[in-house]
Amino acid sequence: MNSSTFAGTDKPDSARKMRYFHNFYGIFKLNDALAATIGFDIGIEQKNENSSAMNTWCNPTVILKYAPTAKTAIAVRAEYYDDRHGVIIAPGTPNGFKTWGFSTNFDYRVSSHVLWRMEARTLSSKDDIFISDDSRTSDSNTFVTTSLSVNF
């Protein structure tokens, strides 16, 4: 279980707005090969300096991970991000940033210090906020990524 809180501002003194943010998640091992992560982030920030009016955003997330061997794992993730006032992500659209995300990934542990990941992810928003290579906008975006991470 993890619980962390931020209280303060990330703005310069000339535009100071108080922000309160809390991140909470738990990782639950269901058996030797299956685990679930359930998380929830919530934040509030003053609409204007010295104001009692606040903007709010939140993000619930669920991840299921299956590790059939010591070197491999497969995970699926579902999340929703609601930032209607554009505090963290400001697309400048009528609904702000209200987006569902779904992904699946495959991890392969190359060695004790190297992990290779392939991931397919799709995002779906209430508004046309995603920009394609030809500058058109859409309410969804799907992509595949790969990464190699090294720890030491």
Task: List per-residue pLDDT tens for the chain, 152 residues long.
Answer: 999 999 999 888 888 899 999 999 999 999 999 999 999 999 999 998 888 999 999 999 999 999 999 999 999 999 999 999 999 999 889 899 999 999 999 999 999 999 999 999 999 999 999 998 888 999 999 999 999 999 99
* Residue with token string 């707005």: 17
The reply to whether 107 falls in a domain is: yes
Contact 80, 99 (CB under 8 A): yes
The reply to whether 14 falls in a domain is: no
Give the CATH number, domain containing residue 139.
2.40.160.40
Q: Whole domain around residue 107: which residue ranges?
A: 28-40+49-150
What pLDDT, on a 0 to 100 scale, did the predictor assign at position 16?
85
What pLDDT, on a 0 to 100 scale, did the predictor assign at position 12?
84
The reply to whether 58 falls in a domain is: yes
The reply to whether 103 falls in a domain is: yes
What digits encode the pLDDT tens for the residues 88-111?
Answer: 999 889 899 999 999 999 999 999
The reply to whether 12 falls in a domain is: no
The reply to whether 22 falls in a domain is: no
In this structure, what token pair is assigned to residue 115? Answer: 């992990």
What digits encode the pLDDT tens for the residues 13-22?
Answer: 888 899 999 9
Nearest CA to 116 out of 65, 70, 71, 66 is that of: 71
The reply to whether 91 falls in a domain is: yes
At 78, the amino acid letter reads A
Give how many domains the chain has, as a whole number.
1
What pLDDT, on a 0 to 100 scale, did the predictor assign at position 35?
98
Angle at 100 between CA 42 and CA 45, to 5 degrees: 25
The reply to whether 21 falls in a domain is: no
